[in-house]
Amino acid sequence: MNWDDLRIFLAQARNPSLKSAARGIGIDPTTMSRRLARLAHSMNATLFEQQGGQHVLTPRGVQLLAYAERAEAAMLEAAEAGVGDEAGGLIRLAAPESFATHFLASRLDGFQRQHPRVEFDLISPSWYSDPLKREVDIAILPAQPVRGPLLTRRLADTTLHLYASADYLASHPPIRERADLAAHRFVGYIRNVVPGHPTEYAEVISAEIVTAIRTTSSAVQERVIESGGGIGLLPYFTGHANPRLVAVLPDEISLEQSFWLVIREDVRHSSRISEFLDWLSKEVRRNSAFFQKPAAL
């Protein structure tokens, strides 16, 4: 067994698609399949099963995954130690689409200027990745996880408000109070798909609201609202930053939401992880006004 075969095994274990996993580490699928077969033969074990065109770990594969990740962590620590105090290596970071788009995307280069040897895999939406399955090192989640060997802490608090485009509001019945919302179209998330998000408008806003367009993407939702497709619930930092959106009943309808920082216990002492967590916490504190609406919206 050699480290490069384990590296290929880890890529496949973290991505059930052979083509996608191979592309992620820069080799062709045929080579990847051959190397995985060689590793399985050397161990006299079946490491993956084919299920619906996906590579799924067998029990022996799950056992090897634990060893491979410890080997990977040791290799990364050795690489970091070789450059003194300069952090380096890959950070797999998952974040909600709204947080990644409006906050992280314009700021990550600031961290990389300080730590040019650190690379990022930024996965969004964050609920597609599970720190417990070691798919990511760090996740920013819209709800606090309640299980597993994870370090969690509240990262930021924000508020959610209803928004619509000015054109939509001009061409539809006026909204003076909550009861007026029943005459309008709404844009929201597909039910039970977005963990921690108040997708049930009937429970938090009005029992008479009907969501006409549903999506799994906050960017798509914002674009539909901006284009006049209806009214939708968005984070303050999303709606406030878009000059084409107008807050609807902002003083009457305001929901609280928190973002939780989740770190795997086995990576939190790595210098690249600790440096990034320190930087991110400072960025959030420095930009606290970004997340919270002022007294008068």
Domain layout of the chain by residue ranges: 1-82, 156-257
Q: Say how many residues make up the chain.
A: 297
DSSP state of 178: G
Residues 122 and 93: beta-carbon distance below 8 Å: yes
pLDDT band, very low/low/confident/very high, at 80 (cuts 50, 70, 90): low
By CB neighbour count within 10 A (0-12 exposed, 13-18 middle, 19+ buried), where does 168 fall? buried
Q: Which two tokens stand for residue 79?
A: 């690489």
Contact 79, 72 (CB under 8 A): no
Helix (H, G, I), strand (E, B) or coil at 261: strand
293 C-beta neighbours (distance < 10 Å), count? 17
Kindly state the percentage of the chain with pLDDT values over 70. Answer: 84
pLDDT digits (tens, 9 = 90+) for 50-64: 998 899 999 999 999
Q: Which two tokens stand for residue 117?
A: 């040897």
- Report the C-alpha gap between 290 and 236 in whole angstroms: 8
In CATH, 156-257 is 3.90.1580.10:
no
pTM score, whole prediction: 0.69
Do the beta carbons of residue 134 and residue 94 sit within 8 Å?
A: no
pLDDT digits (tens, 9 = 90+) for 112-130: 999 998 999 998 875 555 6
| pLDDT (tens digit per residue) in 188-243 | 887 655 555 555 555 567 767 778 888 888 889 999 999 999 999 999 999 998 99
| Topology, domain 1-82 | Arc Repressor Mutant, subunit A (1.10.10)
Encoded tokens for 282? 């400072």
Decide: 106 and 230 in contact? Cβ < 8 Å.
Answer: no
What is d(CA 108, CA 112) in angstroms, rounded to the nearest whole number?
6
Return the structure tokens found at 65: 């995954």
